[in-house]
Amino acid sequence: MQPHDANTHGAHLKAIRRVFGLLLALLALTISLAAPDLDKVQALALQRYGAAASETVVAWRKMMEEARSLPDVDKLNKVNTFFNRRILYDSDQTIWQQEDYWSTPLETIGRATGDCEDFAISKYMTLLMLGVNNQNLRLIYVRAKAGGATVAHMVLGFYPQPTEEPMILDNMITSVRKASQRPDLAPVFSFNSEGLWSGAATTSTADPTARLSRWRDVLERMHQDGL
């Protein structure tokens, strides 16, 4: 190797190291920005809703610490049980004086009430914080048979694989069950923060934040809350 070639090679290595170092720094920044600020959530709960809400956030954090090292299926059960026991169902009209409002986990915990979308969103965000992969989780709009009528409803689905039947987390039923054990539910569409699926499709067809304004809005408010 000629001296000129050696110098050029050395310069290339330095440039590669600088780029690699920059990428690592950006990755670290992205991770830090994405990490939830649960201290902020707890402080906001106390400030906006009072001591009872702050205590529920403390219990929520304790539950997550206990569940963090568990298998995904056990995480599903702990999260489903936590919200189904602590949050009461009520309509958006009663809670928010609006026809349709999607609340953040902080808002749901703060008021200790929510409708089906609020339960599903809180469970979805909690499982993400517990390390469950986003591609395994979808919020699912369904038609549910209840009391002889068919009503619009939302549940959370956990898909072990994209083509496998999901496990269903539902505020109307205490246990997590496979979709085949819920013949009362007919899927309409599903979504998460990365995709939107029609019916039981396995391929995303759209950007959910572009198609679902309420989802875009609640994601922004969750970010402001510290999530």
For 124-167, the DSSP string reads HHHHHHTT--GGGEEEEEEEEEETTEEEEEEEEEE-SSTTSPPE
More confident: 63 or 208: 63
Mean pLDDT taken over the chain: 86
Q: Which of 2-16, 30-44, 170-184 has the lowest mean pLDDT?
A: 2-16
User: What's the whole-number mean pLDDT along residues 11-36?
Assistant: 48
- Per the CB < 8 A criterion, the answer to whether 171 and 165 are in contact is no
User: What's the whole-number mean pLDDT along residues 152-162?
Assistant: 94
Q: What is the pLDDT of residue 27?
A: 41
Radius of gyration of the chain (CA): 22
Q: Using CA atoms, how far apart are residues 193 and 128, in angstroms rounded to an integer? A: 11
- Per the CB < 8 A criterion, the answer to whether 123 and 156 are in contact is yes
Strands 88-89 and 113-114, bridge-based pairing = parallel
Could you read off the pLDDT of 91-127 as tens digits, one per residue? Answer: 999 999 999 999 999 999 999 999 999 999 999 999 9
Does position 154 have pLDDT exceeding 90, yes or no? yes
User: Which residues, including other chains, have CB under 8 Å from residue 218's CB and lie 6 or more apart?
Assistant: 102, 103, 104, 121
More confident: 190 or 148: 190
Say if pTM beats, i.e. exceeds, 0.85.
no
Q: What is the pLDDT of residue 182?
A: 96
Q: Using CA atoms, how far apart are residues 105 and 223, in angstroms rounded to an integer? A: 11
Does position 16 have pLDDT exceeding 70, yes or no? no
Could you read off the pLDDT of 160-209 as tens digits, one per residue? Answer: 987 899 999 999 999 999 999 999 999 999 999 888 888 666 565 555 65
Q: Which SS3 state, helix, strand or coil, does residue 26 take?
A: helix
Q: What is the pLDDT of residue 21?
A: 45
Q: Using CA atoms, how far apart are residues 146 and 184, in angstroms rounded to an integer? A: 8
Looking at beta carbons, which pairs linking 39-44 to residues 24 or more positions away fall under 8 Å?
39/226, 40/225, 40/226, 41/105, 41/106, 41/225, 41/226, 41/227, 44/106, 44/225, 44/226
Q: What angle do CA 44, 45, 48 make, to 5 degrees?
A: 75
Q: What is the pLDDT of residue 163?
A: 83
Architecture in CATH of 37-225 = Roll (3.10)
